[in-house]
Structure 1
């Protein structure tokens, strides 16, 4: 009997463009945990001190959620649930001080406690308050406090979980989140040796299934359905391989482009010219240094008159050092 879920996990882990390798193994990921936890602590402190304010924009919460939303594609849109929607008056943690404090109690408890029971009690207590517009999207903050106990939560993860398990989890409901959490823990335990105790790994798989990157395996072992699913999985691998080759080709092309710009820079300087490097290429590395090192930091205003907005984007420009008139301009192809 084929364990299709295990096959799916192993194929997904080897995909260089899947969430496992692009986010879960991303070196910066663990550094972000520390900064996000500090940010959550700052939110709690401001609410307790009465200085949090009544707006999302410019708040400490916006800073934290923005850091989460920047965590690659899996958390894109994580801020939507926290954006103030004035016509609906949601989420109601900006104008209602009691709701604000209830939200802070949840964050503080999860930030300070160590046990699963304490966290679940805190979640159920917040759910009981019934804060309008504040649902399980909060789990995206809680995940960064206790990644081994609380999975993240968004539309794609829910869709992936439902597709993989046949469940019917709905967004916006804490009891559905907790039920999904139980299912994720069971799945993670079953496939622990090919996943991680960090629930972000399994959440990443569910995200890629939920976005349609990977097809969910059939929930029965009928040979025809399993064979068709394996064919679909093979197509994903072929597409991933082709994309990886395209990305690598693009990197080589960029490297060659920069190398030629470097030659033009050095040749122009050796001939006594002042050199300009395109604005969008100035920070590229060439021989261990910025490509624009020793070049002009600004172009003369005479080159930036009406119609001259493209001049700063020319790959390399040689100018007379005395008059700053253009002697030659080069586009690398």
Structure 2
């Protein structure tokens, strides 16, 4: 079934394309790496809510919505990942909201998968879930599991199924658990065969299937890969997206730099996200401004790894006491940023009050306000997150550095949700 030369040619072409999913999403993507810890913590909250009976009878406003929105923020590869979980009242699906037995089974499934560390354990849970025949709950669940076990469970959506069928001349169906598991077997076989070209993380090969499925990579009748001229519009659109992402990343770096600059000028130790310390701005390396490693704040190691990905944190000089934390939002990752700040707030002792901020462009203000008003956040008194607009930070940076006394000066440029 698998033509070695043909598949190798396609994989290499996929990797060589600077605007493929491989190069724009899978490699060198800080937002992708940051999402894993935040989504895992979000899934743990879903499990907790189901156990405690606080999970609502609707997708909207639930902890599951936070998880799925964090996943869809992974741009085009996961676009539409939340749709299968929307509550459809006329069809009464997916039947995990009104049906308490199914809700509990779903929670138990997630808990078993998050605790599992072996492939056979996870596949056993997937098979069990499929046998429950919970109406409307299909292989879209794989998009959640991928962020928990990225080397075992490949993601799953329409484009990937289409790409799989085109590449391997199959007829797999979107909503079938059996077809998903058969697809997975083939994906793992090919991924192992070409591990020198791809990655143990199944996001790489899934991105290949996605690019084929949306028509960016076209497999013709002669089993060769060509980029058709009639696809120019699609390629042009992707090129524009890549350019926009580069501009966003430059802005993100600038805002991180300003936050570190302000923190240092106010007399604090500052640290930038662990995967950003190789960056530089204004001819200053972040490694020369930031603490070299995250201070030992005596929290669980899993939480610490998540918190260490917060964009900028200020500490009292020479101590491990955090005074403020900042998540810089671009066009994505609002949910992931909120989850990381929430992790920090809920982990630290109640006596240790810190100021938490989202820092975002003006065009995202309404979206941020809506998310900060979410019932799941409003119900937690320990979590108070304000936001700062890029324009306000840039305009007042020098004044804050010159006239500010301590971290509370940031409240002057911040806005809070009442």
Using the size of structure 2 for normalisation, the TM-score is 0.56
What is the CA–CA distance in structure 2 between the aligned matches of 1:90 and 1:24, rounded to whole Å? 32
Alignment of 1:48-127 (within 5 A): 48-127=51-130
2:16 equivalent among 14, 26, 32: 14
Give the SS at the match of 2:33.
Answer: helix
CA contact (8 A) 2:219 2:225 kept: no
Q: What is the aligned partner in structure 2 of residue 188 from structure 1? A: 191
How far did residue 200 of structure 1 move? 0.7
The answer for the alignment partner of 2:175 in structure 1 is 172
Unaligned runs of 5+ in 2: 251-361, 364-388, 400-418
Matches within 5 A, 1:1-333: 3-25=5-27, 26-216=29-219, 218=221, 225=222, 229-230=224-225, 232=227, 244=239, 283=390, 290=394
CA RMSD in angstroms comes to 3.2
Deviation at 1:122, TM superposition (A): 0.7
Q: For 2:244 and 2:142, how far apart are their aligned partners in 1?
A: 39
Instruction: Give SS of 2:91's match.
Output: coil
Distance 1:290 1:149, change over 3 A: same
Counterpart-to-counterpart distance in 2, 1:243 and 1:80: 23
Distance (whole Å) between structure 2 residues aligned to residue 118 and residue 104 of structure 1: 16
| Structure 1 residue 246 displacement after superposition | 10
Measure, in 1, the Cα distance between the counterparts of 2:233 and 2:87.
Answer: 43
Tell me by how many angstroms 1:49 deviates: 1.2
Unaligned stretches of 5+ residues in structure 1: 219-224, 256-278, 296-333
User: How far did 1:243 drift?
Assistant: 6.9
Using the alignment, how far apart are the partners of 1:185 and 1:95 within structure 2? 36
SS at 2:83's partner residue?
coil
Alpha-carbon distance between aligned partners in 2 of 1:250 and 1:189, rounded to the nearest angstrom: 31
> CA 1:93–1:213 in structure 2 vs 1: closer, same or farther (change >3 Å)?
same
Partners of 2:240 and 2:79 in 1: CA distance: 26
Q: CA deviation at 1:92?
A: 0.4
Instruction: Give the secondary structure class of the aligned counterpart of 1:213.
Output: coil
What is the deviation of 1:18? 1.3
User: Partners of 2:80 and 2:22 in 1: how far apart?
Assistant: 19
How far did 1:216 drift? Answer: 2.2
Which one has the largest radius of gyration? 1
For 1:114-163, what per-residue CA distance to the aligned partner results, in whole angstroms no more than 9, with x for missing partners?
A: 11111111111111111000000000001111010100000000000010
User: How far is the alpha carbon of 1:183 from its aligned partner?
Assistant: 0.7
- In structure 2, distance between residues paired with 1:249 and 1:59: 32
Secondary structure of the structure 2 residue equivalent to 1:195: coil
- 1:260 matched to which residue of 2? none
2:299 counterpart residue number: none
- The corresponding residue for 1:258 is none
Quote the Cα distance in structure 1 between the aligned partners of 2:237 and 2:117. Answer: 45
